[in-house]
Structure 1
Amino acid sequence: MLSPIERKKAGFPLLTSHASEMKKYAEVYSLFVDKGYSKELCEAYADAFIDNVKKPTYFDIIQIASLYDKIYDNKTAYFYLEKLIDKKLSGDEKFGYCTEMLSTISKIGNWRDAEEFRTLNISFLQKYCEKTCLKRQAKLYISLALADCAAKNYRDALKLLKFGYKPQGRNDSMLLEIMITAVYIFAKADDIEGLEGALANANGCLKLFKDFDFSWQEEYYHKRIRDASQGIL
């Protein structure tokens, strides 16, 4: 979840004229700081910025879908993403929507829908990635890999994860996400030997982390790796 400052830097500031909105976001963010990803966080975010709001922002809909995805509630994530299907999105919002939707329907197992969605949006996604940061490129390739995984094209899925991501220092959460995704794909493929190697890589990457941002973060990543090895992402 983006902090209030990170949200502003990303180009999705809250309405500064509405002090109550700023306060609500800070209160919800404090839940994230204290407890991490949880159902309580998702429900608080939805209550504050989507379910009881006449015109929720596209950013908030995408972020609530991402939060539900983090607690493995893909069906609720899809429920919120559906609200954007007929909206005219562009730029960062369209990219965020496309990658979240592709990942979500792939994890649900709707591989035909995932392939159709990828075909419809791949031109935009590729052009967007030509001018975006490496971490967003990684997010795209992860979502594409998940689509291939859903279709049981495991070899192609793993190839997509080898797109040339360059580590960004010791605490590189995106590199870890790529490795956790590899664990998940090997688990789905029932490739025991490959899974063992992927687990070693993911755990080795996590050991390089130093000074976690939040007290819950280290155990969260350990759990993510364990869950991925069981085919849960």
Structure 2
Amino acid sequence: MRVSLFVTCLADTLYPDVGRATVTVLERLGCEVDFPAAQTCCGQMHMNTGYARPAGDMVRSYADTFADADAVVVPSGSCTGMLREHGSNVAPGVHLPPTYELSEFLIDVLGVTDVGASFPHSVTYHPTCHSLRLLGVGDRPYQLLSKVTGIDLRELPEAEQCCGFGGTFALKNADTSSAMGSDKIDNVIRTGAEIVCTSDSSCMMHLGGFASRRKLPVKSMHLAEILAAQE
């Protein structure tokens, strides 16, 4: 199957290994992956801060760039949610290609839960707000992680509570964001896991930052990175 990768801004600029890992997983499962170089931002930051017209321009650019794609895979529930759920609000009449968050595509389109990964480490999973509340991905990431060979998957207390990043929320409400992030990382530490896994680079950055500043023995990783691993 031929698919296109929409890598997202944070993966492109800060976490390129997330994009590489996504390609690794898709190619391992027999997909031919295309990466249109003209892709830019989904427009979420602009929409969140009231710049509807630039956000609409970016949604239209996305639609044009991926117009010929059979399916677009996005390693981000946040960006997928922006495009699918808000794209028509800021870009009325735009026709989007079939666009899927990574775990949706693997399970719903390819029909796969075991992607051939091996990761012998203790992991706890933080479900991201947009993937849960906007896309309704449910337990798809857990299904994928549970099939990883050697993984010690640990339940995260109060898992569905927001980590506090929330895009521009972290800038506009820094104190509240920090308090939420601190609570979340405290719950991560209670699990005793080596890794906190999430499916959005923004949450990964937020939680990884808290762990680093507090010198905690936990590392943040993207779902795609664990699914790509063969240790």
Query: What TM-score, normalized by structure 2, do the two folds share?
Result: 0.32
Which of the pair is proportionally richer in helix? 1
Q: Return the structure number with greater strand share.
A: 2
